[in-house]
Chain A
């Protein structure tokens, strides 16, 4: 195959190749990664099953213009992980939605600068 391969025309250019960025671009990405890894290490799923589920989410979700690689990548990871824990029965129907509403409400009722808890 060569650089004139017609499929290349449809592909975005490579991002910054220096790769000197931090391991995680935001705390939520680190937390999400740790949750997934800890759940795997506790024996709740095989990593290959997770990789297949996550890969399918990445495949169907194109990176949109202006979106950074970490935001696209961990955004897909988050959506995939939410559906995965429900498919595996680790989260019941509606449980995540309820908790999201509680966290949002807690933030709104917590004075700025104080830790948010539910």
Chain B
């Protein structure tokens, strides 16, 4: 049979060549590679950010800390960065909605949100978010009250933004962990809003 041998796609060949080179030279450890994949596939994700947001909603002193020194406030909950990035938290208000993009590539607050979804990495989002943020929000099904300003923050390798969404109405009696379930990934990028309690259980 002509096809009883293995086959590697050209792209797999290129990645294997890189890996074997870097491992052979001792620049990276195979075990470290597996640990990184496991971390980002299974451990780090928007739940971390939701924990931060819910804490800020419940604790004014934590919220103030988050605004003055986001790195330390986030690290206090056990979420720390690996790329030496500096975190900045931008808070939505009744007058201002914040939205985050990376026009350069896909800089993103990994420790609190994990890795970005495809749309965040797409050329379309990276360009449209800056030119027409209201139109992008409409595509996400978000309509802001008339007159609310939108501010777009362009992340870099050194500064990563996390949006602190507004706490939904009617959530005064919810616990911090219940509140965290209302905090979606998109609400922390600014392409969504935090859920109302009835949306969360729907």
The answer to whether B28 touches A110, judged by C-beta atoms less than 8 angstroms apart, is: no
The 8 Å CB contact of A14, one of B6, B11, B106, B139, is: B139
How many residue pairs at the A-B interface have CB separations less than 8 Å? Answer: 199
The answer to whether A78 touches B11, judged by C-beta atoms less than 8 angstroms apart, is: yes
Interface residues on chain A, size class:
35 or more
The answer to whether A51 touches B156, judged by C-beta atoms less than 8 angstroms apart, is: yes
> Is B36 positioned at the interface, with any CB of A under 8 Å from its CB?
yes
The 8 Å CB contact of B124, one of A12, A42, A54, is: A12
Which residues of B1-30 have CB atoms within 8 Å of chain A's CB atoms?
3-9, 11-22, 25, 27-29
B15: A residues at CB distance < 8 A:
28, 31-32, 35, 78
> CA of A75 to CA of B104 in the docked complex: distance in angstroms?
16
Least distance between A31 CB and chain B CB atoms (Å): 5
The answer to whether B40 touches A23, judged by C-beta atoms less than 8 angstroms apart, is: yes
> Is B58 positioned at the interface, with any CB of A under 8 Å from its CB?
no
> Is B157 positioned at the interface, with any CB of A under 8 Å from its CB?
yes
> Is B122 positioned at the interface, with any CB of A under 8 Å from its CB?
yes
> CA of A2 to CA of B58 in the docked complex: distance in angstroms?
37
Q: Which of B70-78, B125-133, B193-201 contacts A (4 or more CB under 8 A)?
A: B125-133
Least distance between B44 CB and chain A CB atoms (Å): 9
> Is B84 positioned at the interface, with any CB of A under 8 Å from its CB?
yes
With A28-B11, A51-B104 as known contacts, state yes or no: A111 contacts B5, CB within 8 Å: yes
> Is B173 positioned at the interface, with any CB of A under 8 Å from its CB?
no
> CA of A16 to CA of B33 in the docked complex: distance in angstroms?
29
The answer to whether B33 touches A91, judged by C-beta atoms less than 8 angstroms apart, is: no
The answer to whether B84 touches A8, judged by C-beta atoms less than 8 angstroms apart, is: no
The 8 Å CB contact of B22, one of A25, A35, A50, A69, is: A35
Interface residues of B, Cβ cutoff 8 Å to A: 3-9, 11-22, 25, 27-29, 32-34, 36-37, 40-41, 82-85, 104-107, 114-115, 117-125, 127-128, 131-132, 134-136, 139-140, 156-158, 185-186, 191
Interface residues of A, Cβ cutoff 8 Å to B: 1-3, 5, 7-8, 11-17, 19, 21-25, 28, 30-35, 37-42, 44, 46-48, 50-52, 54-55, 58, 62-63, 68-70, 72-73, 75, 78, 81-82, 85, 90-91, 95-96, 99-100, 102-104, 107-114, 116, 118
11 contacts between A and B (CB under 8 A): A3-B132, A23-B114, A30-B41, A33-B40, A62-B123, A69-B121, A73-B106, A90-B27, A102-B17, A103-B17, A112-B4
